[in-house]
Amino acid sequence: METTIRRIGILTSGGDAPGLNAVIRSVVKTAIIRYGWDVVGIVDGFEGLIGQPRSRPLGLADVSGLLPRGGSVLGCTNRGHFKLDGQPDPAALESVFRQAAASIKRLEIDAVIVVGGDGSQRIGHALSLRGMGIVGVPKTIDNDLAGTESSFGFDTAVAFATDAIDRLHTTAESHGRVIVVEVMGRDAGWIALYSGIAGGADVILIPEIPFSLVEASAKIAARAAEGKRFSIVVAAEGAMPVGGSSLLPNAGGRIGAAHHVGIGPAVTAELQQLTGREARAVVLGHLQRGGSPSASDRLLATAYGEAATRAIADGKLGHLVAWRDGRIQLVPITDDVTAARLVPADHPLIETARGLGITFAGAADR
Ligand code: F6P
């Protein structure tokens, strides 16, 4: 489909991730330098399209120096008017979609680049089905979007968590303690798996493998018997014990929940009891989302921004730029690409970890 483009919009939606500003910079530079288009930044994600539109023009001077900067200069919103999950009110939803369409028209924007995770891409898809020109760019530190093998923000989060685990090793060793490091990831264990292996954890708890703390404590006891008085446990925030919610009273229905209740402190208390060793919890939380993007996330974000802008020029609206088979590809935005991508049981790094004696404290680890 050929479209005449004069002005494009860009918004950053959902939780922030290191690399958002690098995408904004890349889109603005490509749009202006290669295509001669105007670029409008929509403020606070899709919320900027509700009511009186909130936006600002983005020129080359506005993106100068943005490459290493964390967060988003446009602002992000992850729980706004566009409520697609749970039991949405269809009339209210149609009203916000109409407002968004009116704002896009009013701003004279020919296409919008939506930088966001699963929920944001679903909103983009809904707008696309209603005739708006949308191209998606996948963002999430959780790396859990089915449409792509790689999202920017993940590498930086893993690097930060790995550094934290390194630091916790020395203090855990000095005191002979068990330290439980809770990392983010929602319902996926990617950050825990990668940082746990890179940081040399002894136990990794991920949502995809229901855990038994009796099993985890056996590993800690075995280490103690070998003279290792300390142990490091990396727990993904969405990890769950076998049988569900015994550690967290409200954990039962958490899959897909908007906000996770961390499991780290609960695991810590129970491990202290089971092992008789002093234990401490460290919740890394939003530190994993803050700060400057890694070189690898800057590259991915920059490549995505250029590819998304080119996709508009090529008339490929309704597509997501995605990393597949070692290169960027365009995939139609559908429910399939916005679904969750979890760690498969046969992922090679699970085997790597088990080969090194790291336990996931699951049935297959016995
Ligand atoms: O999806 C990114 C993420 O950081 C998750 O890892 C985490 O569960 C969630 O967002 C936290 O959301 P909020 O910023 O609303 O606390």
Tens of pLDDT along 314-323? 999 999 999 9
CA of 174 to the centre of ligand 1 (A): 32
Q: Is residue 301 part of a domain?
A: yes
Average pLDDT value over all residues in the chain: 93
CA of 142 to the centre of ligand 1 (A): 9
Atom of ligand 1 nearest to the CA of 144: 1
Residue closest via CA to ligand 1's atom 12 equals 259
Q: What is the DSSP letter of 294?
A: P
Residue closest via CA to ligand 1's atom 16 equals 259
pLDDT at residue 87, rounded to an integer: 66
Strand order, beta sheet including 134-138: 55-57, 38-42, 7-12, 111-116, 134-138, 319-324, 327-332
Based on the domain organization, do 182 and 133 belong to the same domain? no
Closest CA to 332 of 124, 149, 49: 124
pLDDT at residue 261, rounded to an integer: 64
pLDDT at residue 82, rounded to an integer: 79
Give the domain range for residue 147: 7-152+293-332
Based on the domain organization, do 48 and 132 belong to the same domain? yes
Total domains present in the chain: 2
Cα dihedral 236→263→251→148 (10° resolution): -20
Q: Is residue 338 part of a domain?
A: no
142, 160, 261: residue to mutate for ligand 1 pocket, most atoms within 8 A of CB: 142
Based on the domain organization, do 208 and 140 belong to the same domain? no
Closest CA to 366 of 222, 165, 197: 222
Which residue among the candidates 38, 44, 118, 142 is catalytic per the annotation? 142
Based on the domain organization, do 161 and 263 belong to the same domain? yes
Based on the domain organization, do 15 and 79 belong to the same domain? yes
d(CA 313, CA 152): 23
User: Would you call 178 helix, strand, or coil by DSSP?
Assistant: strand
What is the per-residue pLDDT across 303-356, written as a single tens digit (0 to 9) for each? 999 999 999 999 999 999 999 999 999 999 998 999 999 999 999 999 999 999
CA of 262 to the centre of ligand 1 (A): 11
Atom of ligand 1 nearest to the CA of 79: 15
Beta bridge partners of 331: 320
Tokens of 339: 């679904």
pTM value surpassing 0.85: yes
151 contacts: CB under 8 Å, gap ≥ 6: 17, 117, 138, 139, 140, 141, 142, 143, 144, 145, 300
Beta bridge partners of 244: none
Q: Is residue 2 part of a domain?
A: no
d(CA 306, CA 30): 6
Q: Is residue 179 part of a domain?
A: yes
Based on the domain organization, do 239 and 299 belong to the same domain? no
pLDDT at residue 135, rounded to an integer: 98
Q: Is residue 84 part of a domain?
A: yes
Amino acid at residue number 37: W
CB 147 within 8 A of CB 320: yes
Based on the domain organization, do 130 and 12 belong to the same domain? yes
202 is catalytic: no
Based on the domain organization, do 23 and 121 belong to the same domain? yes
What is the per-residue pLDDT across 75-87, written as a single tens digit (0 to 9) for each? 998 877 877 776 6
Based on the domain organization, do 98 and 198 belong to the same domain? no
What is the per-residue pLDDT across 126-159, written as a single tens digit (0 to 9) for each? 999 999 999 999 999 999 999 999 999 999 999 9
- Which residues does a 6 A CB cutoff place in the pocket of ligand 1? 15, 78, 117, 140-142, 184-186, 237, 259-260, 289
CATH of the domain at 324: 3.40.50.450
Helices of type H across 77-146: 90-106, 118-129
Based on the domain organization, do 249 and 212 belong to the same domain? yes
Q: Is residue 206 part of a domain?
A: yes
Based on the domain organization, do 12 and 143 belong to the same domain? yes
CATH of the domain at 217: 3.40.50.460
Q: Which segments of the chain have a pLDDT < 70?
A: 1-3, 86-87, 245-262
Residue closest via CA to ligand 1's atom 14 equals 15
Based on the domain organization, do 283 and 360 belong to the same domain? yes
Closest CA to 116 of 75, 168, 64, 66: 75
Q: Is residue 1 part of a domain?
A: no
Q: What is the DSSP letter of 260?
A: P
Q: Is residue 124 part of a domain?
A: yes
